[in-house]
Structure 1
Amino acid sequence: MFKTVCKCGSGFTDEDLAKLPGVLDKYKADHKHARVDSKIEADVWFVPGLAIEVIGAEITLSPIHTCGMNAIRPGAGLAIRFPRFTGRYRTEKAPEDATTAVVIIEMYNNQLKKIESKPMEAV
């Protein structure tokens, strides 16, 4: 099952944006794919078929994204804050090889441990 973790609109060059319709056209679908778990209503749906690399500032709790839903807090999933495309299409990976919810949850928990271990600064 594919979960949502962000909507990414940053990091694309003008060249990327010009090529994107051609890259995505073969994956276009009339409806949400049965293996996609999403609370988001998209203008356009795609079948899972392409892996891209996305980075962000941190991982946050989200009421709309389904990655890690209910794992940290009831009714909350996890989302990438300030996601941006790195420019890398991961052609060596199948969509099933993308980072899993288990790994995203682990990243979130590790991020919290780093925050908790920092000493408080004097104000």
Structure 2
Amino acid sequence: MQQHYLRPDGLPPVNGYSHAVAFTGRMVAVSGQVPLDAEGRLVGPDDAEAQARQVFQNLETTLAAAGAGTGQVVKLTYYLTDLADLAALRRVRDEYISPDTPPASSLVQVSGLVNPAFRVEIEVLAAV
């Protein structure tokens, strides 16, 4: 069970996330996923949207292995090397995450990720 608190009284407007999510069930923590395909090849070297799509595909695959899906995600943490990539990230996110029940989210701009070609990394918590 999940309860989404998109915008409690007194808090600012949101764009694709809930200020809080309460839940019950088994917790699945997914390590930060990066834009590598199943063979370990970088996807979209200079394309933020392609990298975000690969990351969300990796998240779907990882969640499925744990018996979960994107509809059970209660928390997203994004790491971007360039905030100019945020619009592309949001477009892709909206393909995978329901705007009706968005998870809680955090966004962190970082100076770099483990591979300098990575533009995005995302980790999630899901409640099954």
Give the TM-score category using the shorter length. under 0.3
More strand by share: 2
TM-score normalised to the size of structure 2? 0.25
TM-score by length of 1: 0.25
Larger Rg: 1
Q: Which has the higher contact order (CA 8 A, sep 6+)?
A: 2
